[in-house]
Structures are given as C-alpha cells and as structure tokens.
Chain A
C-alpha cells in the first residue's frame, strides 16, 4: 500500500508573518522555517497505518524552495520512507490551484492508495489545495477527519462538523484531510533524524512533471491577492472573581456564545 502525505514548509508559526508590500506574498527570507505542525498529524496518521500494515510505503511530497527539503527530512525522521520535492524557480508565485495541479502530478507518480493532507496550511490558510489535488487525480475527497480507519479497500473517517461528526467512507484510492485532533504526532528520535539523511528524496522540476513555465508560477496563477490588513486585535478578556456566583457567570457567558 502506498500513502502519500502532502507537506509544506512554513515560517515558524508562533512568529507574526510579515508580508512583502509589493508582491503581497509572505516574506520567507530571514525567518525560521519549519515543517508545518499541521502536517505532522497527517504524517503521524500515515505512520500509524504503516505500523498496522507492514510493508506500507509512506511518501512525503512537497512543493517549495530547496530549503523545503528540511521539512521533508523532518517527515522522514518521523518514519516516512521517501520524499519528493518539487522545486523550481518557475514555480515561484504559484497560486493554490497551480500548487494543487503540480502536487497532483507529483503524487500520481507514486501510485497512491491514500493521499493525506492537513486541512489547510498554517501560513496562508487557503484550504484549497487538498480539494484541487483530489480534482486533478479524479479521487474522492474526505475532509476534516478526526478519526480514520481502513478496512476492506475502503477508508472511513469521522468528519468533524460544528455539531458533532459525520461518518463517511470512500473506496480507495482517496484523498483525506485530517484535523489536529486525529492523533498526537511523534517526536522524531535522533536515530530517526540520522536515518532520514540517508533516505531517498526525488527532486523534481516543473518540466519533469510535464509543465511548461507558462503553466505554473506567477504566469500561470489565476488567483490574485488584492490587499491585506492585520487582524483585529483580540479584546481583553473578562476576569471573573469568584464571589460565589462565578460558576453561574461562566455558564451564562458560555450560553451567550451558544457553546452550551
């Protein structure tokens, strides 16, 4: 069985993203970059399947600059078998749709039974790529999985919704996006980190995947960012001092938010 996990290198998520005022792209230079923590959940999900089904091949696929190799290495350190990095100067400035198209082409080469993605990246948050991949591969998409099980050539998930969850399933191969509540990702052992250095990583260009320079990157982009504005500052919270009615006050507050 082949599982492909899509990963992305993002600026250290605890930092504040800086935006280049001209290109309106996130500035990635001079910022610590890490494997998107959201992707660790999909890698972990794949590795758990691998542990339960020996012989399963887990491939980590990413599109990004050369240094995105570090993010792939992290996935390999966790236990994935192989990496694929699509890296090409022509790809710079690709929009989400192009990214999905390129990733889909790279994934297809791996002949996957299951493609796992995070629901969205922790830097740009478009959330469009998994859907795009499923479209280009012609596969069903099961999204927001908080639980994932494989049986009888099918994948079944519990799909997180606001009200609870839905149980949905699809015939393999399929694309599944996973949420942060699906598992606790493992921390790579040093042994894994060292072994990761010796694991194979295919480095591909857009041309390798059959794309001309016009089809990808800025030129191929069909989306355009028009502007940006900082999010509204979070208002100061309310401090409730317990004079005996704190519990009621908290309950009222939660009821007001319709949480309870």
Chain B
C-alpha cells in the first residue's frame, strides 16, 4: 500500500461519491424549490438598497452574532457553537477533500490549524451538552421544545464524531502523512488501535493494521458524507434551517426608520387590503418566517404574553410559516397544527392556544405527506387570520417593538401584525367594539373624543402669557418652533398640565414658538397601528397640508412635541406623504436648553427617589434614551441631586405601559394588566416618582397606580413637570396637585 491512500480509492469511489452527493443535493433542491418560489412570489419590497451597510449587517449580526449577546449566557454559548461550526467546516472540508484526492494542502494540513479545529470540536460538543440540558431540564417557558431540537443535536454530534473518527483512522492508516494530524484524532487513534510492541515503531503500524485502519477510515468517511447529506436533507424541515436563511435575513433587514410602517400606496385602488394569507405578505415577511429559530426571545419580552394574553409573537411567525410550508409541501418537524394555530409536539409548551382540542390537532408531517400523495394540504389548514391566528392575538399587540428588538435574526413581527389588522379593519370591519367611536371621532372631530377643535385652546386660557396661534399670525412673521400639542396634551385633563408646564419652559427659555390650536388634529398614530390605514392617510395628509403651508409662511424650523406617538409618526411616517419636518421630543429640547443654560433647575426635589420609564415610541423606535436621563440627572445641584434609580427593564429592554398600538383605546379583557405590571416594577425600585415622557404612559400608569393601590407611594410625573417642581421659588405649576380627580363634571 502506498503512502498516499484515500477512502474513495480511485475513480469508482469518485463516481459513487458524485452519485451520493449529487443525488442528495438534487433531493434537497427539489424539496426547497417550491418554498423558494413561493417566497420570491411574495409582495415586492425593496431591500437591496445600500449594499455596503447591508454587508456590514451580515458581518456584525451573522458572523459576529451581535444580537445574540442580548442574552449573555445562551448568546455566548450559541456564538461558540456557531464559530465552532464555521471552523469545523475547515476540518470537514479537508477530510472530505483528502478522501477524494490525497493531497496535502499547506497551512490547512498544518498542526496549528488541525489543533484549532480539534479545540472547536470539543467546544461544539460541550455546547450541545448545554443545549441538551436546557431542553431537558431548564426548559425556559418561551423555548419551543420538540424532537426537532434533539435531532439537530444528534446530527451535530454525529458530524463531529465522524470527523474525529476519520482523523483517528487516517492517522493510523497513513501515519507518515500525518505530520499535521490533529491531537484529538491521534489520541483517539491510539485508543482505538493501541500500539503493539511488535510494531516497527509506536506510530508506524504494520501493513495489516494499516489495511484495517484504512477500511475503518473508509467506513467513517462514507458515514460522514452520508451524515452531512442526510443533515442537509433534514434541515429545511427544521428550525435549523436558520443556519442558511439568517444569512439572508440579516442582510435584508429593515433599513428604513424603525417607526415607519409600510404605506399602502394608491389605497383607493387596491383590490385587497392587508394580509390574511401567505400570498399577501412581502417576500421578506415570508423569508422572516423561515429564518425563525423558535428561540422565543420575542415571547419572553412580549408584554401581552407576559400578562396572560393569547398573543405570542413567535407563534404568529410560525403560523405563517406553517401555511407557507404546507403550500410548499415541506413537513415541519415536531409541529402540529389545528384550530388556534401551530404548536409543538408535546402540548406542554405555551405556544399553543389553550382551547386547542387534541382531536383538532394534526401532525404537520402527515399533512405534508398527504400532500405528496396528491391532495392539497393547504385546504386542510384553518384560515390564517381568524383560524390559526385569532383576533384576540392580533388585538393584544401594543406594537411596543420589544420582540423585534430582541430577535437575533431580525424578524419583523409588528408590521405583520399590523398588516393582519389592516385586513380585519379595512376588509372585514372587524375590531373591538370600543374602537368604533375612536374611528368615528378621529374622522369627524380630529381627536379621539367628541371634543370640538376649538377646545384645543382651553389649556391656554390658564396661562400667564399669550400663546400665539399660527393661523392668527401675519404671513411672513417668523416662528422657530411649532409646539405640536397633540390630542392628549390639548384635551386630556391630566396631560394638559404637562402641556402647560412645557409652555412655561418654552417661554422662559425665550424661544420663538407658536401652536396650531384648532387646526391641529390627531397625528393618526392610533388609526394606523389599529390597521385603519385609510383613516390614517386622511389625517396625515390633512396635517401635512397644514404644516407645509405654515412651514413656508412662517419659516418654521422645527416641531416639538411631548407625545412620542405624534413625534414618531410626524418624524418617520409623514415623509411617506411628502411631509418633511425636523421633529424633537420635548425631553430632547429641554436637555438642550439645560445644556445651554437657557433654563435652570433647582433643589426642590433633592434626594427624591425617581425612576424613569422609557416610552416605546421614544426609546425602542427612536433611540432616545439619554436626553430624558440627562434632564433627570440635572435636577438639583451638588449633593442635592435627585436620587435616580433604573428599573430592572430599562432603555431598549423597557416594558410597555400597555397603551401603544391603539391599546389605550381598547378594553383589556384578558389576563392581568400591562400597566399594573410595569407600575409594580417601578414601585419595587423604591422610587417615589416614576418619570415619563409620554401622555399615554402617564395615563396608563395613573390607572395602574389606582388599580394597585399605590397612591400613597408613587406618582407619575412628566419630565417637564419634574423640571418645574425642582425649582424654588416655584413657578405656577398647575400639576402639583396631580392626584385630584380628572375633572369629571
């Protein structure tokens, strides 16, 4: 036997290899072709702009696993497995190559590289132990646990086992080529085929032993090839498909402003509104579902899910995937489906809707099998919206974006939920009954209530100075800042106090500012997020017309608002309708005024323990975290500063107040209350004041405080109110008696 030996042993072996690999790849291709076709047929969406930035997304979030580290322990361990798997491919590639052509490739065949590969083989093994323990014993409630996970762990271990067996037998079969042969394979080789005293040397087996080692090497090598091909064929049925799909999902992630929902173009000419079936989603929406790894990070942080609502963002994604897979005739390992949606094969995981009766559950594997035999499996599935995904799930969403912020593979849950809401509202007129007056009032009165536009001026009558209204100014008179007061700030008793305080500050800082007064109307945010895109577009277009007119006439420089919802939609969504305005949140403006010394705080709140709640539409949607904290930490001087504490969930991990996504206008009928959950978290810090920067958060928390009986312990104040309260002598702050009833007649 010559020194250069190879398991394939010449042309016949190569032919067999080509047949095995070619056949397997053909089967894999045939399996995923319909899926790729369906994804490509999704609604168009441009995700190929700015390729440079996108390449960086791929590097930072695929190769470097950036998002994974938001959960440090599983994140680190996953990253080790991922990097280990990449390194393993060097070893696997080389051992397969060498099995075909026994050529030593410099560097790759070197001892250091082989050693690194071996180290990572050990690392991979250890990570699979961790993931096994997590599935078998820790069982986090948000993780989908099915047999799929175990099959993947088995494949990974088979893959590394065959690798080290190849190393071991190859080393015994051809020791002289083994200068680079790795430490692990070498030790295993010595263990499996121990040296004997009769050998020429301990590393030089006699020919008979080499023959046997070569035979074992051949077995291991072919086993490896078959394991890899079987794994490849299995992967599309598994959540493990993410190892390929996330390459695309990180690359094609959203680069538009986070707070901008997709506009329905030419809304009066569209044939079908929103999404209620696979074909209605964009190709990226469908790609998202195939990228889902079922890790459940979205579920873990979902405020609706945490308070007992049926919404589970992961289930939404998996339900869409189930339909997509059924149409592609690909089985989904470990999943069953029935009325109420997809669930795992154990029924003990909370992915499932509890009402699901076993008789209605059918295995997706059999469903897909039936498809192969000619019947259309899609017909057997309940409809996506109203069947697999219930209306209660869709209406529970506060659009807080916590799910999207956590998702390591950049799945966009909220736009899909809003799209399905669009179907319900625009197509079916199905929504919680309490939303009907909201829509009617927004349409008729431009505010959520039955208030007249003139009532937006009521708060100004109590002010010690005149407030300028744009419509009353002479054309050409310059105005720097438009204070967009918003419906809550103009018309809600509690939030009018915030408005009055902010007006005091604007005046004190000597800004040249004005308001729209009766000409202002709802920004449209609740309408859009509830799914009434038509109403949203009407409101937005009307506001933009007003704003554009004054922008010209008075040379408006910027818009300031105390409402993060108005802030977000004017800043990020109005550009879709040709409304381009520089918008700042009042905490940003106040922070700047403090920095510039245009306003000052005083020691009135010395040592008061204050915590801050990040509003979703200011924080997660617009990344404004520092400005409000700067203001709060600027209150008082020296030792008389406020005692600022963070809640456990803060900044991008903030927990919603429960009011976003139009939820403020709906009843909370299921589960416990989101606002109470959050206010308890604030109270648990020992803070006396929870500072907020959003009228909806303020309203939700005042209700939460009453509901929890925390009136004696905790108050909610806007950042503006705290600035005013800190001062001595106090300016006439209307807000101090904030515990008074909200002015019911």
Residues of A within 8 A of B (CB): 12-16, 32, 34, 37, 184-194, 236-237, 239
Contacts and interface: CB of A to CB of B under 8 A. Distances in A.
5 closest cross-chain pairs (CB), A and B? A189-B429, A190-B426, A237-B745, A190-B534, A187-B436
A34 B745 contact: no
Contact of B268 (A12, A14, A186, A194): A194
B484 interface: no
B608 interface: no
Contacts of A34: 444
A188 B427 CA distance: 9
A187 B439 contact: yes
A14 B445 contact: yes
B223 interface: no
Interface of B: 267-268, 273, 425-429, 431, 433, 435-436, 439-440, 444-445, 450-452, 533-534, 741, 744-745
Contacts of B440: 37, 187
Contacts of B741: 239
Q: Which of A13, A189, A190, A191 has the most C-beta atoms of chain B within 10 angstroms of its own C-beta?
A: A190
A194 B268 CA distance: 7
A184 B436 contact: yes
A186 B429 contact: yes
Contacts of B425: 189-190
A190 B267 contact: yes
Given A14-B444, A14-B452, A32-B444, A191 B427 contact: yes
Q: Which of A12, A14, A32 has the most C-beta atoms of chain B within 10 angstroms of its own C-beta?
A: A14
B745 A236 contact: yes
Contacts of A194: 268
Contact of B445 (A12, A186, A190): A12
29 contacts: A13-B444, A14-B444, A14-B445, A14-B451, A32-B444, A34-B444, A184-B433, A185-B436, A187-B429, A187-B431, A187-B435, A187-B436, A189-B426, A189-B427, A189-B428, A190-B273, A190-B425, A190-B426, A190-B427, A190-B533, A190-B534, A191-B273, A191-B426, A191-B428, A192-B429, A193-B534, A236-B745, A237-B744, A237-B745
A9 to B, nearest CB: 13
Contacts of A186: 429, 436
Nearest to B452: A14
Given A12-B444, A191-B273, A192-B429, 5 more contacts: A186-B436, A187-B440, A189-B425, A189-B427, A191-B426
A37 to B, nearest CB: 7
A184 B432 CA distance: 12
Contacts of A37: 440
A194 to B, nearest CB: 7
A15 B453 CA distance: 8
Contacts of A14: 444-445, 450-452
Contacts of A237: 744-745
A187 B451 CA distance: 20
Nearest to B743: A239
Nearest to B431: A187
A84 B268 CA distance: 24
Contacts of A190: 267, 273, 425-427, 533-534
Contacts of A12: 444-445
A44 to B, nearest CB: 11
A32 B745 CA distance: 28
Contacts of A193: 534
Nearest to B426: A190
Contacts of B426: 189-191
A12 B429 CA distance: 23
Contacts of A191: 273, 426-428
Contacts of B451: 14
A37 B431 CA distance: 19
Q: Which of B273, B426, B428, B433 has the most C-beta atoms of chain A within 10 angstroms of its own C-beta?
A: B426
Contact of B429 (A13, A188, A239): A188
B632 to A, nearest CB: 33
Q: Which of A34, A189, A192 has the most C-beta atoms of chain B within 10 angstroms of its own C-beta?
A: A189
B117 to A, nearest CB: 59
Contacts of B268: 194
Contacts of B267: 190
Q: Which of A184, A194, A239 has the most C-beta atoms of chain B within 10 angstroms of its own C-beta?
A: A194
A239 B743 CA distance: 9
Contacts of B534: 190, 193
A184 B427 CA distance: 19
Contacts of A189: 425-429
Nearest to A34: B444
A34 B436 CA distance: 16
A13 B745 CA distance: 21
Contacts of B433: 184
A237 B744 CA distance: 9
A84 B622 CA distance: 51
Contacts of B273: 190-191
A16 B452 contact: yes
A32 to B, nearest CB: 7
Nearest to B422: A190
Contacts of A32: 444
B431 to A, nearest CB: 8
Contacts of B436: 184-187
A191 B531 CA distance: 13
A10 to B, nearest CB: 11
A191 B440 CA distance: 17
A187 B532 CA distance: 11
Nearest to A192: B429
A34 B433 CA distance: 21
A106 B350 CA distance: 60
A69 B730 CA distance: 57
A15 B452 contact: yes
Nearest to B273: A190
Contacts of B533: 190
B458 to A, nearest CB: 14
A194 B429 CA distance: 13
A15 B450 CA distance: 9
B283 to A, nearest CB: 25
Q: Which of B273, B429, B435 has the most C-beta atoms of chain A within 10 angstroms of its own C-beta?
A: B429
B539 to A, nearest CB: 14
A213 to B, nearest CB: 35
Nearest to B741: A239
A245 B419 CA distance: 52
Contacts of A185: 436
B134 to A, nearest CB: 46
A185 B428 CA distance: 14
B524 to A, nearest CB: 15
Nearest to A16: B452
A14 B428 CA distance: 28
A2 B424 CA distance: 30
Q: Which of B273, B428, B431, B444 has the most C-beta atoms of chain A within 10 angstroms of its own C-beta?
A: B444
B740 to A, nearest CB: 10
B226 to A, nearest CB: 54
A107 B713 CA distance: 65
Contacts of B428: 189, 191
A143 B452 CA distance: 31
B123 to A, nearest CB: 55
A192 B741 CA distance: 42
A239 B267 CA distance: 49
A190 B268 CA distance: 8
Nearest to B532: A190
A15 B433 CA distance: 25
Contacts of B429: 186-189, 192
A235 to B, nearest CB: 10
Nearest to B535: A190
Contacts of A236: 745
A48 to B, nearest CB: 14
Nearest to A15: B452
